[in-house]
Amino acid sequence: MNNFKNLRGTVDLLPDHLIKWQNVEKIIIEQLFRSSIKEIRTPILEMTELFMRGIGEGTDVVSKEMYTFLDRGERSCTLRPEGTASVARALIQHGISTKPSQKLWYMGPMFRYERPQAGRQRQFHQLGVEFIGYESVSSDIEIITLAWDILEKLGIKELNLEINTLGDHIDRSNFQKAFLKWLEVNKNSLDFDSQRRIDKNPLRILDTKDVKTKQILKGAPRLFDFLSEKSLERYLIIKEKLKLLKIPFIENSNLVRGLDYYTHTAFEITSGALGSQATVCGGGRYDSLISQMGGAETPAIGFAIGLERLILLCGNELEETRETDVYIVNKGTHAEILAMELSRKLRNYDLIIELDLSGASFSKQFKKANKLKSKSIIVIGDDEAEKNVFVIRLFNNDNSENKEETILIEDNLKLEKWVKSNLILDRNL
Ligand code: HAM
């Protein structure tokens, strides 16, 4: 008996379920390629210090959710909880100039020790996009529309885009001073979680789900009132441009995001269809992160989409896969070798080939081909092997036989002609 199970909060993605993932990833990667965004892959394991400095020690992600351990060399390592800090590190470390600016994407597993529930896992996957070295308002708009278009391209409807501005560091620290004063007076009326946040990460109190605290917060100073004219103007232009591009949005002045590196634009895309874990995409501008980590002053903006949540939102049509084009039925020592040769040859075309490796009876192999709804069957038995030929049969949609042809093993031209005219009519060879 096998008593091993996967760890809580992790998921096995089994082959049938993965079809949807692969279809979704293909559409996304194509869209990124067409937008001139290049892939970057950084290690899953990083020095713990990177996330403490990059994301912020007061955040939930760093203080409560990281998978951190000492390796055999007594170094503190952490399984990445997100990708932005790693991308920033890689650019600084490799001296990759951000002139010209870099448009980058990554996709892969992230780890957060959270309470698992629908749409929330301990190992989950993100698609992240980072525009590094970009300062213009247009880059904010481009990032938001890119996220929006990816979701639309996947056929997801009823999405809500929420935006906010967090100002720059000066705006924020001015606000924080006033907010802390207010918190001192109102501390005892807040929920326990919010009270705990006062010392660690007071801004996150604005994001509370507690109904009573939300009500009390209505009387608190507002970050918006502490924005400099420049920050305010930036935000106004962003809103105008989104309107011009007909991207619907809601302003949410309580949207503060869970990571410390954000400045100015912050945004999230949610869907009611997801239940309590409604945020499918989160992002924003992080103009100080790279300089804080030891790099040059480099403005940047990005987002990440949670792939598990995305898959939940995508329709069943993305579960479809291509069917087998050729099933190779074979039996007998010589026939098996010829069948292998043939399958290697056929893999040069855009075809899905299933080579039967069972050595089972012909009737069993035919049954399997039938079950897979293969568009055609190639048969090689001892008789065919002796004559150095194979027989290829094409089927109609209702599985009735359409035509049959006998081809000499070496006759590559005839095979190609047959494949072209019967199986890849409209595909490029
Ligand atoms: P985040 O908001 O922490 O941002 O995560 C982005 C998305 O990852 C969330 O909206 C959600 O869809 C998904 N996600 C987060 N935690 C979990 C979980 N435990 N289970 C399933 N899905 C989850 C970031 O990570 C930033 N690095 C985004 C960014 C990039 N900002 C600028 N550039």
Q: What is the mean pLDDT of the chain?
A: 94
pLDDT digits (tens, 9 = 90+) for 20-78: 999 999 999 999 999 999 999 999 999 999 999 999 998 999 999 999 999 999 999 99
pLDDT digits (tens, 9 = 90+) for 297-340: 999 999 999 999 999 999 999 999 999 999 999 999 999 999 99
Q: Which residues contact 299 (CB under 8 A, 6 or more apart)?
A: 133, 134, 135, 285, 287
Cα–Cα dist 127/108, whole Å: 7
Q: In this predicted structure, what is the pLDDT of residue 402?
A: 81
Q: How many CA atoms lie within 13 A of 245 on its CB side?
A: 18
Give the confidence band of 3 by pLDDT, cuts at 50, 70, 90: confident
Q: Report CA(407)–ligand 1 centroid distance (Å).
A: 56
Percentage of the chain modeled with pLDDT above 90: 87
Query: Which residue out of 42, 107, 124, 312 has the highest number of ligand 1 atoms within 8 Å of its CB and is therefore the one to mutate?
Result: 124
Say if residue 146 is exposed, middle or buried (CB neighbours under 10 Å; 0-12, 13-18, 19+). Answer: buried
Query: Which residue out of 279, 287, 312 has the highest number of ligand 1 atoms within 8 Å of its CB and is therefore the one to mutate?
Result: 279
Q: Report CA(27)–ligand 1 centroid distance (Å).
A: 20
Starting from the edge strand earliest in sequence, which strands make up the sheet with 45-47, in order? 45-47, 76-79, 67-70
Q: In this predicted structure, what is the pLDDT of residue 331?
A: 96
Q: What is the largest CA-CA distance in the chain?
A: 95
Q: Report CA(51)–ligand 1 centroid distance (Å).
A: 14
Q: In this predicted structure, what is the pLDDT of residue 276?
A: 84
Per-residue pLDDT at 427 exceeds 70? no
**Among the atoms of ligand 1, which is closest to the Cα of residue 120?**
20
Task: Count other Cβ atoms within 10 Å, centred on residue 151.
Answer: 22
Q: In this predicted structure, what is the pLDDT of residue 1?
A: 61
pLDDT digits (tens, 9 = 90+) for 336-358: 999 999 999 999 999 999 999 99
Q: Report CA(368)–ligand 1 centroid distance (Å).
A: 43
**Among the atoms of ligand 1, which is closest to the Cα of residue 309?**
12
Per-residue pLDDT, averaged over 80-101, amounts to 91
Q: How many CA atoms lie within 13 A of 115 on its CB side?
A: 2
Q: In this predicted structure, what is the pLDDT of residue 201?
A: 85
Token pair belonging to 132:
């590094």
Cα–Cα dist 301/261, whole Å: 11
**Among the atoms of ligand 1, which is closest to the Cα of residue 84?**
27
pTM to 2 decimal places:
0.93
pLDDT digits (tens, 9 = 90+) for 167-178: 999 999 999 999
Query: Cα 413 to chain center, whole Å?
Result: 43
Name the DSSP letter for residue 388: T
Amino acid identity for residue 28 in this structure:
I
**Among the atoms of ligand 1, which is closest to the Cα of residue 285?**
32
Q: Report CA(177)–ligand 1 centroid distance (Å).
A: 28
User: What DSSP assignment string belongs to 139-203?
Assistant: HHHHHHHHHHHHHHHTT--SEEEEEEE---HHHHHHHHHHHHHHHHHHGGGS-HHHHHHHHH-GG
Nearest alpha carbon to residue 125 among 107, 151, 106, 113: 107
Cα–Cα dist 11/191, whole Å: 34
Cα–Cα dist 231/224, whole Å: 10
Per-residue pLDDT at 207 exceeds 90? no
Q: Whose CA is nearest to atom 25 of ligand 1?
A: 82
Token pair belonging to 105:
């994407």
Token pair belonging to 280:
């499918």
Q: Is the peptide bond before 100 cis (omega within 30 degrees of 0)?
A: yes
**Among the atoms of ligand 1, which is closest to the Cα of residue 259?**
3
Cα angle 30, 35, 36; round to 5: 100
Per-residue pLDDT at 429 exceeds 80? no
Q: In this predicted structure, what is the pLDDT of residue 97?
A: 72
Q: Report CA(269)–ligand 1 centroid distance (Å).
A: 11
Cα–Cα dist 148/130, whole Å: 15
Cα–Cα dist 305/286, whole Å: 17
**Among the atoms of ligand 1, which is closest to the Cα of residue 81?**
25
Give the confidence band of 221 by pLDDT, cuts at 50, 70, 90: very high
pLDDT digits (tens, 9 = 90+) for 222-260: 999 999 999 999 999 999 999 999 999 999 998 989 899
- Is 423 in a helix, a strand, or coil? coil
Name the DSSP letter for residue 122: S
Token pair belonging to 101:
């600016």
Nearest alpha carbon to residue 208 among 198, 194, 188: 194
Query: Cα 336 to chain center, whole Å?
Result: 42
Give the confidence band of 426 by pLDDT, cuts at 50, 70, 90: low
pLDDT digits (tens, 9 = 90+) for 372-421: 999 999 999 999 999 999 999 998 877 777 889 999 999 999 999 999 99
* CA Rg value for the chain: 28
Per-residue pLDDT at 99 exceeds 80? no
- The dihedral formed by the CA atoms of 58, 61, 63 and 64, expressed in degrees to the nearest 10: 140
Cα–Cα dist 26/30, whole Å: 6
Please report the sign of the dihedral spanned by the C-alpha atoms of residue 69, residue 305, residue 156, residue 150.
negative
Cα–Cα dist 385/116, whole Å: 57
Task: Count other Cβ atoms within 10 Å, centred on residue 68.
Answer: 16
Q: Report CA(207)–ligand 1 centroid distance (Å).
A: 15
Q: Report CA(281)–ligand 1 centroid distance (Å).
A: 7
Q: Whose CA is nearest to atom 10 of ligand 1?
A: 281
Which residues have C-beta atoms less than 6 Å from ligand 1?
A: 82-84, 112, 114, 119-121, 124, 126, 128, 130, 258-259, 279-284, 286, 302-304, 306, 308-309
Token pair belonging to 202:
């007071």
Residue pointed to by tokens 């081809």: 407
